[in-house]
Structure 1
Amino acid sequence: MAQRIIIADDHPLFRTALGHAVGKVWPEAAIVEASSAGEARTALGEGEPEALLLDLHMEDSNGLSVLMDMRQDFPALPIAIVSASEETRVFAAASQLGAAAFIPKSSGLDEMRSALAAVRDGDRWFPDCDGSEDDDLAKIASLTPAQRRILGAIRQGLLNKQIAYELDISEATVKAHITAIFRKLGVNNRTQAVLLAAKLDVDQPVADSASV
């Protein structure tokens, strides 16, 4: 099967720029463009590519949750995050959650090519960061996909009845999941869970879990 590289970003001009970098690193690869996480999943359903270049902010995704979901469903897939974020904590979080690279959108073409070449060769590439791991992120990563969906609904402020309706499950099941979520995260209520889960965001500062 021919090589394929999926570029998932909702800005056409930036997809074009990434495509130029990809063409230098994988000259024989077919480039598949996606403007949303859903489109990227559809492309992945046609066979895993050599790599996925993934923006963290698209119409159906926001933050590091999309990386967790992709890593859960495609564990062998090299994922290079491409983001406007310049925060060291976001670089470190993406590394901890299994990304193969983090390419800031401010990077020049040569730097993009260097990062992608590292991914091609089975290496990792990240801007300078201390490499320390965050225990709270490890707790979030321990949640099942269903629990992460419910945590996302809690962050939206939905009540148990609304969550049950949205996910087509019983309220009793929602309550059981929430109990398990609180236990895994080491929190006692929804507010604490929401504050801890904010570490998945990339565009705002988050509270220190010690103050939760």
Structure 2
Amino acid sequence: MINVLLVEDTKMGRDCIAGYLRDSDRYVLSAAITNAAMAETVCLHTPIDLILMDYCTENDEDGIAAAAVIKRRMPHIKIIIITGMASTDLIDRARAAGADSFWYKETGDQELLAVMDRTMEGRSVYPDTTPVIRIGTARSTDLTPMQLSVLRLMVQGCSNPAIAKELHISVDDVKWHIKGLYDKTGYNSRVTLVGAVIKKDFIVPGL
């Protein structure tokens, strides 16, 4: 049997995935925790073959950051990042952290088990694209890479000068990109745009 560590901060999510594992004939749930920061300690004291690591866990602990630490110290442990968020940079961050695979929660139990099987066979399973999210009158795919970068920093609470410094562009360029965001989404203020983005889990503040 393959020993699984589940890192998931919601009871519904834990119960659902635990049910998938119980119904399988090849995986056993060795431990379930709510905080990604504790995952390394569990792996040091419990035989773990595979981690199902939620991205955003208890106390806003970042599952991708925790995965990077574990892969550096215990590269033999397979890690699948799981999330229900459509944040645009998660797939790239997960790859950079060394996570073996990536799964969106909404796709269903059989697909999760298939991703787990392929991961344990040594394959890396990543979606080709993120889910398309509607933000006001725009789809997430309508936004340019620079607009997404500006929007991400807006969500983090950065001022226009701070955004300009971070992205190495002028303040006037920042204002121009923000106007483009307003035009596409139909929102006319920073507060409403950022609030909508956060509500949709498209970009998560602080992570």
Same fold? TM cut 0.5: yes
Q: Distance in 2 between matches of 1:21 and 1:122?
A: 21
Q: Is the 8 A contact 1:22 1:116 kept in 2?
A: no
Residues 14, 28 of structure 1: CA spacing in aligned structure 2 closer, same or farther, 3 A cutoff?
Answer: closer
Question: Quick check: 1:88–1:129 contact (8 Å CA) kept in 2?
Answer: no
Q: Tell me the TM-score normalized by structure 2.
A: 0.56
- Normalised to the residue count of structure 1, the TM-score between the two structures is 0.55
8 Å Cα contact 2:39-2:66 kept in structure 1: no
Matched residue SS, 2:45: coil
Runs of 5+ unmatched residues, structure 1: 131-154, 156-190, 194-201, 207-212
Shift of 1:88: 5.3
Aligned to 1:83: 83
CA contact (8 A) 1:54 1:81 kept: yes
For the Cα contact (< 8 Å) 1:5–1:51, is it kept in 2? yes
SS in structure 1 of the partner of residue 53 of structure 2:
strand
Checking the alignment, whether the CA contact within 8 Å between 2:115 and 2:125 is kept in structure 1 is: yes
- Give the distance between the partners of 1:205 and 1:3, measured in 2 at CA: 32
Name 2:12's counterpart in structure 1. 13
**Residue 126 of structure 2: aligned partner:** 126
- Measured in 2, the distance between the counterparts of 1:28 and 1:101 equals 17
Range moving further from structure 2, 38-47 or 109-118: 38-47
RMSD over aligned Cα, in angstroms?
Answer: 3.3
1:111 alignment partner AA? E
What letter matches 1:94 in structure 2? Answer: A
Corresponding residue SS for 2:122:
coil
Q: What residue ranges of structure 2 are gaps of 5+ in the alignment?
A: 131-155, 157-164, 168-200
Checking the alignment, whether the CA contact within 8 Å between 2:82 and 2:102 is kept in structure 1 is yes
Number of the residue aligned with 1:36: 35
- Aligned AA for 1:65? A
Tell whether 2:94 aligns with 1:114.
no
Instruction: Confirm or deny: 8 A CA contact 2:55 2:64 kept in the other structure.
Output: yes
The structure whose Rg is larger is 2
SS at match of 1:124: coil
Task: Report the alpha carbon displacement of residue 69 of structure 1 after superposing the two structures with TM.
Answer: 2.1
